[in-house]
Amino acid sequence: MRLAVTEEQEELRATLRRFFADKSPSERVRHLMATAEGYDPAVWRQLAEQLGVPGLAIPEEYGGAGFGMRELVIVMEEAGRALACAPLLSVALAAQALLACDDEEAKRELLPQIAAGRIATVAVAEEDGRWAAEAIAATAASAAGGHRLEGVKSFVIDGHTADLLLVLAQAPGGLSLLAVDGDAPALTRTLLPTMDQTRKLARLELAGTPARLIGREGDGERVLARLLDVAALALAAEQLGGAQRVLEMSVEYAKVRHQFGRPIGSFQAIKHKCADLLMEIESARSAVLYAATAADENPAELPVVAALAQAYTSEAFFHAAGENIQIHGGIGFTWEHDAHLYFKRAKSSQLLLGGPAHHRERVAQLIGL
């Protein structure tokens, strides 16, 4: 596998970093996280129409740019670095769920809409928060003109604003993927209070909600398996970006904060903290890059390396976010400083798909331990 970063990928990173620096500075993040929507529609249109970000990893035949997970990982990393308030993760997962389905008609209809900026998300977890087939109790029954959904979905990323919801539910033929319009009748969407205000999660109540079957009944387990791998990788990339940013914040502060007549960065204890964080973050970068390359070039290897990347990177980000607060001292605990925003994102992201122990257990199971 080719692990080198291309010139085109570096240009993509530079473009995204400039964009997020301009459109997602700290004060803008704080404004958007206090709104119910949680994102800026004008900025989202720019991401879709000018940069083509929602369609980056969608094949050209479905209206996308035809790139792969390597490029999507760069997007997620730069978004995580800026704590960008935008439905990037939810849209990426929805697109990958559709691509995993054997439903050419649905792909040709829905993927171009997502590439053009239609906000979509996936609804997997229920009240216990688990992304697992055995934890899904929502049901889908055949009805005139399609299917009807019954049950509850929780912790749905951007579920309160998405125009398209891809719901996993138990049908007579087995676990299945179904599409629900955001304004469908008998659908109640409730914004959940969350520790990380920069990522909006919602609860969906389905009470006979009309839905469209994507693919065949029983395809859901295969779709969920692919979705879990992609979600673990995309979230790890986002966590890597956040970890890199808090390390930079720590180093910048250690250079300018003086104690006893010299910068605190000259003290051995601070040096060791920063050096340890650098080692962890660069190791996480290697894991994410390898997993993204595997996704594009050796998909059979993805389940193991995506779980490994998620387990390691989630711990690295949480550790870096905590140490950032410690290095900043008293100011790091204040609402006015951004350190707490990254700390909350780090902890909530660590638990979103299951904690590091869950992903390490998955690695063990996949390699037969």
What integer is the mean pLDDT of 238-267? 94
What integer is the mean pLDDT of 151-172? 97
What type of residue is 84? A
Residue 64, both tokens: 């996308």
Closest to 298 (Cα-Cα) out of 68, 46, 64, 80: 68
Contact yes or no for 202/60 (Cβ under 8 A): no
What integer is the mean pLDDT of 173-185? 96
pLDDT at 369 over 90: no
d(CA 5, CA 12): 11
What integer is the mean pLDDT of 236-253? 97
d(CA 323, CA 277): 8
Phi, psi of 354 (to 5 degrees): 105, 145
pLDDT at 96 over 90: yes
Name the average pLDDT for the chain.
95
Residue with tokens 């083509």: 52
d(CA 77, CA 16): 10
pLDDT band at 5 (very low <50, low <70, confident <90, very high): confident
pLDDT at 158 over 70: yes
Q: How buried is residue 34: exposed, middle or buried, by Cβ count under 10 Å (0-12/13-18/19+)?
A: exposed
Residue 67, both tokens: 């790139």
Instruction: Give residue 56's Cα distance to chain centre.
Output: 15
pLDDT band at 330 (very low <50, low <70, confident <90, very high): confident
| Confidence at residue 145, expressed as pLDDT on a 0 to 100 scale | 81
The number of C-alpha atoms within 13 Å of 234 and in the hemisphere containing its C-beta is 26
What integer is the mean pLDDT of 323-345? 94
pLDDT band at 282 (very low <50, low <70, confident <90, very high): very high
H/E segment holding residue 214: strand 201-214
pLDDT at 95 over 80: yes
d(CA 199, CA 358): 22
pLDDT band at 98 (very low <50, low <70, confident <90, very high): very high
Q: Partners of 25 in the beta sheet?
A: none
d(CA 306, CA 121): 20
Domains in the chain with CATH codes:
7-115 (1.10.540.10), 120-218 (2.40.110.10), 222-366 (1.20.140.10)
What integer is the mean pLDDT of 160-167? 97
pLDDT band at 1 (very low <50, low <70, confident <90, very high): low
Give the DSSP per-residue string, 59-109.
Answer: -GGGTS----HHHHHHHHHHHHHHT--SSHHHHHHHHHHHHTSS-HHHHHH
Closest to 181 (Cα-Cα) out of 144, 206, 201: 206
Lowest-pLDDT range of 104-118, 163-177, 222-236, 325-339: 325-339
pLDDT band at 317 (very low <50, low <70, confident <90, very high): very high
H/E segment holding residue 3: none
Report strand pairing: 120-123 vs 164-171: parallel
What integer is the mean pLDDT of 165-176? 97
H/E segment holding residue 218: none
Quote the pTM value: 0.96
Contact yes or no for 233/209 (Cβ under 8 A): no
